[in-house]
Structure 1
Amino acid sequence: MDLTRRAAIVTAGGLAAAGLAACSDGAPAAAPTAGATPSPAAAPAPTQPAPGRGSVMIVGHRGASGYRPEHTASAYSLAARMGADAVDVDLCATRDGALVARHEPEIGGTTDVASRPEFAARRTTKVIDGTSTDGWFTSDFTLAELKTLRAIERIPATRPHNTLYDRRDPLLTFDEVLDLLDDLGRELGRPVGVLPEVKHSTWHASVGLPIEPALVEILRRRGRDKPDSNVIIQSFEVANLRALKTQVGCPLLQLIDSVPKAPADFVAAGDRRTYDDLVTATGLQEVATYATWIGPSKERVIPPAGAPTTLAGDARAAGLRTMPYTFRNENEFLPPALQRGGPAAPRSTYGDAFGEYAQYRALGIEGLFSDCPDTAIAAFG
């Protein structure tokens, strides 16, 4: 195996990777037979990435969350051993200011807190970025309290096989995730990068728990704030990325949500621009003044029932690289033409994920977020 084939990513403002170590005796799974309706009961064995995928960065979305409850040591470890270049880590703040890896501040759907009578009184309703949400929130718990909880599968109806791993993993701090990735890097003989996402920046600041200062402190303390430190910071907001540009040297990624949404900091400031404005030629040129990457919803690159847009090429013309989100194997996350098994198929049924990857590969995207990094690696091999 060529142990230097990923070095081109470094000069592209991405993650350094000296090479990919073998993870098991298995090979990447072959594409499903046309018309088949596979419905896996467990994760495939970790695989050795196929050579030749070039400089396309494969990011395990919240780890290998297609196979394990998201944002757990199990999910991150599996993603790395499957060959992902990096893992995506959403960051939320605790009441005492620690940063924990959770998809959202509301944790009723991703932990066992709802079954814990000692925390029943913590249930409440909060308005975050204009959306009212009922449940339990990291901002109302100390880190010590959150450490008593266990992670569960977020979408059990779609991924019932993942529920096998419910309550096996504790919640992790960002420092603990970085420790884990360091250990995995030593085990695999290559760096495992990280893409921390600042979740709901404006809201966290409004409740006195800003994420960015703690994130910068952790990265500086660990020497991970440099351009070559295998870190890319991401956010759906703009002002915080502009500020981070002056505080850290690692690349930044501007996430681009779907139509007709707008960055929460724009809304809070009375700025009438939306994400649509960010993907115009002028908007992309502005993004390029502070970010190296854009991370658009994949529907902005190829609509579910339409021809590809010009976004990937427009971004490239502005000096940006494109990392769409989120690629998943199940029917409900695929365009109708790539779904399999008909309306009666179980929700866990896999569609033609390889067909979708091929469409994006043809556009020359430079990276992607996938819940199933082994599938992405096989598709780009």
Structure 2
Amino acid sequence: MTNYEEISMRFIKRLGALALVVISVSDCTNANPGSKHYDPVDVGLRPQFLVDGLEDSKLKQRLKACENKKFYKTTFSIGHRGAPLQFPEHTRESYVAAAKMGAGILECDVTFTGDGELVCRHAQCDLHTTTNIISTELNSHCTVPWDHDNPNPGSVKCCASDLTLAEFKTLKGKMDAANGSATSAEAFQDGTASWRTDLYNSRGTLMTHKESIALFRELRVGFTPELKGGDSGANVQIEDVFGSQEAYAQRLIDEYVEAGVPAHRVWPQSFNLDDVLYWNANTDFGDQAVYLDSRPIDPNNAETFVPSMAELYDAGVKIVAPPIPYLLTVTDSGDIVPSLYATTAKQAGLEIITWSLERSDLRNGSRTGTDAEGNPVATYYYGFDINPAAQAIKTDSDQFKALHVLAQDVGVLGVFSDWPATTTYYANCFNVK
């Protein structure tokens, strides 16, 4: 071998070693919630629009200074059903959009078809509001079909379990909405709220859970499947298909094992505490199992935390995921601060994830009126903003104020968002880890 050939071979080997380093560094799926990845993304115009609308403050100045920086994928930004502010939820198109906006983890809500296949839908029986089913021949398969002769929008119920997988895959996803006063199937499906959009409603590719695993791998993101509970009004029940709730919970995990996905890349979720405890006791996926906490509690009254935070931790729960209003409260001076729920969970050793940003119409602020006693009432996800002495969320831009407290003072691992670009922008700007 000549000297030239020896030098060339050494150069090629160096390039190969460098390539392995680059691949290792940019493998975002090995990161924990809150970490930045090395995949550049495009956050688009909305985050800057929201920043511009903030009143002058140190927060605005910091966010404004980040307008021209490069943004990267981050597991602090979690795609809630994909990017359903504008794209039909739980569709391939919605997931791809979320990943392109920097979501480092994506969510497939998991339910099932009548022939026992796991699919991505927010509920067992939501096909009448999230797909075109009632305009197809499959309407007749629904638990309660749309009746063209005697339309009753409130009674329609179409379930994934009403269909085989082959039938399910023929449907088209649409924005989750319905017109409650409709007298035709077409009008019933045309109910998208004005603050959302039908601009990307022309196609929506439905997905199985297995297909979501393959896609999320391709998109280089983490996985957070949510095992959905059953609908007691459906024709087919969980026990009819899987035999037991435990077998259903195991089936979700099995599909990751079969696909060769390691446990550290998956954050399985459930509102059913028993599912979380089952995963903890019977699988390798329990360390990152997420208890979705929607118990009817007062976030500032520890006596309503039943079981207590310490009891949850002692039972084996490591991560809780309450909605945003459980974690925040507003002082008389209008400052947003952590709630007692947030501080108590942290003191008990629990990590926190929360949901969901960009899921409320905040164009006119959080307040929606007053109750019978004259007390302020706020939209659900900003239900913490009800102090009669001061309002904190007055514009859609003010959601950055809430996000700032969640990240810096509560110390959440990640935030679900219907438009992940907003959370991605914040996480990059503040270098959230």
Contact 2:33 2:413 in 1 (8 A): no
Matched, 1:374 2:421: yes
CA distance in 2, matches of 1:25, 1:314: 34
Structure 1 partner of 2:311: 283
Matched, 1:220 2:257: yes
Matched, 1:139 2:161: yes
Structure 2 partner of 1:298: 324
CA distance in 2, matches of 1:205, 1:63: 25
* Matched AA of 2:224: L
Taking the TM superposition and a 5 Å limit, the aligned residue runs for 1:166-185 are 166-185=201-220
Matched, 1:322 2:342: no
Match of residue 208, structure 1, among 228, 241, 247: 241
Contact 2:123 2:228 in 1 (8 A): yes
Deviation readout 1:222-265 (Å, 9 max, x if unpaired): 122x332x11100001122222223332220111005259xxxx
Contact 2:38 2:72 in 1 (8 A): no
Q: Secondary structure at the match of 1:181?
A: helix
CA distance 1:104–1:257, change in 2 (3 Å): same
* Matched AA of 2:263: P
Which moved further from structure 2: 158-167 or 68-77?
158-167
Match of residue 37, structure 2, among 19, 22, 41: 19
Structure 1 partner of 2:76: 57
Match of residue 341, structure 2, among 304, 311, 319: 311
Q: Secondary structure at the match of 1:277?
A: coil
* Matched AA of 1:111: T
Contact 1:233 1:252 in 2 (8 A): yes
* Matched AA of 2:319: W
Taking the TM superposition and a 5 Å limit, the aligned residue runs for 1:19-38 are 19-24=37-42, 29-30=47-48, 31-34=51-54
Gaps of 5+ in 2: 1-21, 56-68, 146-153, 178-190, 363-378
1:159, distance to aligned residue in structure 2 (A): 5.3
1:208, distance to aligned residue in structure 2 (A): 3.2
CA distance 1:202–1:217, change in 2 (3 Å): farther
Matched, 1:354 2:383: no
CA distance in 1, matches of 2:109, 2:348: 27
Q: Secondary structure at the match of 2:416?
A: strand
Structure 2 partner of 1:195: 224
CA distance 1:50–1:170, change in 2 (3 Å): closer
Which moved further from structure 2: 62-71 or 196-205?
196-205
1:367, distance to aligned residue in structure 2 (A): 1.5
TM (norm. structure 2) is: 0.66
Identity of aligned residues (%): 22
1:27, distance to aligned residue in structure 2 (A): 7.8
Q: Secondary structure at the match of 2:139?
A: helix
* Matched AA of 1:198: L
CA distance 1:19–1:282, change in 2 (3 Å): closer
**Number of matched pairs:** 327
CA distance 1:50–1:165, change in 2 (3 Å): closer
1:71, distance to aligned residue in structure 2 (A): 0.6
Structure (1 or 2) with the greater helix fraction: 2
CA distance in 1, matches of 2:115, 2:414: 35
CA distance in 1, matches of 2:44, 2:215: 24
* Matched AA of 1:372: W
TM (norm. structure 1) is: 0.74
CA distance in 1, matches of 2:330, 2:87: 27
* Matched AA of 1:227: A
CA RMSD of aligned residues (A): 3.6
Contact 1:32 1:352 in 2 (8 A): no
Taking the TM superposition and a 5 Å limit, the aligned residue runs for 1:143-162 are 143-155=165-177, 156-158=191-193, 161-162=196-197
Q: Secondary structure at the match of 1:76?
A: helix
Q: Secondary structure at the match of 1:21?
A: strand
